[in-house]
Amino acid sequence: MNVGRRVAIYCLVGVATLLHGNRIFGQTPESQQPYAQMDRSAVDYRGPGRATSSDILSKAATIGILLRTQGAGAEEGRALLKSAQQAVADENKRGPLPDGRPFALAVKNESGNWGQSSTEMMRLITEDQSLALIIGTNGNLAHQAEQIANKLGISIVTLASDTTTTEINIPWIFRVVPSDDQQADAIARGVYGRNKGAKVLLISTTDHDGRAGKQAFTRAARAMGADAPMELDLDPELVDSGLVGDKLHDSKAEAVVFWTSALVFEELLDLVQSARTVRLVYACEKAALATLANPSASPAGATVRVPIIGTELGQAGMPEQVYKAVRLIAAAIRIAGPNRARVRDALARSTEDAAGQSPVFDGAGNLLAKPQLVPALSPAQQAGESSSTN
């Protein structure tokens, strides 16, 4: 990569700084609000399944995880899996459950095929006897898991930023990453806080997650009274770099916002950095995963840096959230025992401070955490680039 003229890159990460109350950043403007909403504080599961007769009798307390570990995007999936494995290892260092059972991780490969992915989720539940599932960043898969969870009664902890997974208030779903609206609000403040008239190019993919992020960022820009971003929609399976290059040249964009997969972000980063007018690059949390799985994707091998809460992985962003998800589920299992309904109850009451004063989730399973923008540069690079980012 040519690093003669470096471009400041900002990636969005969710940290464990919890909000007080149920205020969610980046809410939809009044004109976009639905005509009715359920009371999130009233959401609860009062069905059967808590009796010891429904306990899972297996050799280990198993946590299932569905990630893309083969094919395109496998590098990012393996980075997330490494964090999950570390979390399980750390839990076992604390000791087994009172009945002597250790924690275990069951892993299945995420597939783009709807039926195949659902089959793999079912295998995690029926064959591996998982007490809860962790689903990756794909919003479509989160919706599949949502349906399975509601039918079979098992907690789903998702890494997808799509808020529609929790809008209908199914009590089995928990999201451990900032929503699209939260991320869009933080990025918009970073972009337009400097200059409301900035020329911004929003690069998004035409899949479910890209469309949701695009809409969220456009709303956030409008809420700040800024000029609407220029838009470029890309087929996630066939990225046309020539089209991207032409758009960068014609738009004379000063800032570029990525709402894509990590794979697309990594593929286009060199091209965007080489654009003469671009001074700032922002990436949603899903896209930012590329700088963790492949450090060469960012200038001079830099990686995204953020304070890590309760880990020693030396990683940030989405891998941190996977680690956090495993530890939250394990803590719930220690409280509830090997019972899926009781594990759900414990997850819903999860806290992260010793005094138990700060909830992790609101009543609908949304993460109560403030997103934070983190420069994807080393301290030395940041010091050398202060003039280009002001």
Mean pLDDT of 313-327: 73
353 vs 57 pLDDT, higher one: 57
Whether residues 189 and 125 share a domain: the answer is no
247 vs 365 pLDDT, higher one: 247
Any idea which residue has 């007490």 for tokens? 131
Residue 62, both tokens: 């198993």
Whether residues 324 and 203 share a domain: the answer is no
Q: Report DSSP letters for 316-374, one per residue.
A: -SHHHHHHHHHHHHHHHHHHH-S-HHHHHHHHHT-B-STTS-SBSB-TTS-B-EEEEEE
Whether residues 364 and 229 share a domain: the answer is no
Average pLDDT, the chain: 79
Whether residues 185 and 255 share a domain: the answer is yes
pLDDT of residue 377: 43
In a domain, 20, yes or no: no
In a domain, 3, yes or no: no
Whether residues 153 and 65 share a domain: the answer is yes
Range of the domain at 271: 8-15+181-306+373-384
In a domain, 23, yes or no: no
103 vs 194 pLDDT, higher one: 103
Residue-wise pLDDT tens digits, 269-303: 889 888 899 888 888 888 877 554 444 444 333 33
> Is the per-residue pLDDT at 326 higher than 90?
yes
In a domain, 188, yes or no: yes
pLDDT of residue 6: 59
Question: How many whole angstroms separate alpha carbon 188 and alpha carbon 168?
Answer: 27
Q: Are 246 and 236 in contact (CB under 8 A)?
A: no
> Is the per-residue pLDDT at 385 higher than 50?
no
pLDDT category, 12, cuts 50, 70, 90?
Answer: low
Whether residues 126 and 212 share a domain: the answer is no
pLDDT category, 21, cuts 50, 70, 90?
Answer: very low
Question: How many whole angstroms separate alpha carbon 235 and alpha carbon 330?
Answer: 38
Mean pLDDT of 243-263: 93
309 vs 206 pLDDT, higher one: 206
41 vs 202 pLDDT, higher one: 202
3-state secondary structure (DSSP) of residue 259: strand
Mean pLDDT of 355-380: 70
In a domain, 159, yes or no: yes
Q: How many CB atoms lie within 10 A of CB 239?
A: 18
Cα 222 to chain center, whole Å? Answer: 24
3-state secondary structure (DSSP) of residue 182: helix
pLDDT of residue 376: 53
In a domain, 21, yes or no: no
Mean pLDDT of 117-140: 92
Q: Are 368 and 34 in contact (CB under 8 A)?
A: no
Residue-wise pLDDT tens digits, 25-48: 334 444 455 544 555 555 566 667
Whether residues 246 and 378 share a domain: the answer is yes
Task: Give the residue among 273, 289, 261, 163 at the shortest CA–CA distance from 216.
Answer: 163
Whether residues 125 and 233 share a domain: the answer is no
Cα 225 to chain center, whole Å? Answer: 27
> Is the per-residue pLDDT at 388 higher than 60?
no
Mean pLDDT of 258-277: 89
When divided into structural domains, the chain yields a total of 2
Whether residues 84 and 156 share a domain: the answer is yes
In a domain, 24, yes or no: no
Task: Among 59-63, 171-175, 217-221, 374-378, name the one with the lowest average pLDDT.
Answer: 374-378
What backbone torsions phi and psi does residue 202 show, to the nearest 5 degrees? -100, 110
Whether residues 230 and 170 share a domain: the answer is no
In a domain, 22, yes or no: no
Whether residues 45 and 154 share a domain: the answer is yes
The single-letter code of the amino acid at 339 is N
104 vs 160 pLDDT, higher one: 104
CATH code, 75: 3.40.50.2300
Name the strands in the sheet holding 61-67, side by side, starting at the edge strand that comes first in the sequence: 103-109, 61-67, 132-135, 155-158, 173-175
pLDDT category, 113, cuts 50, 70, 90?
Answer: low
Whether residues 62 and 134 share a domain: the answer is yes
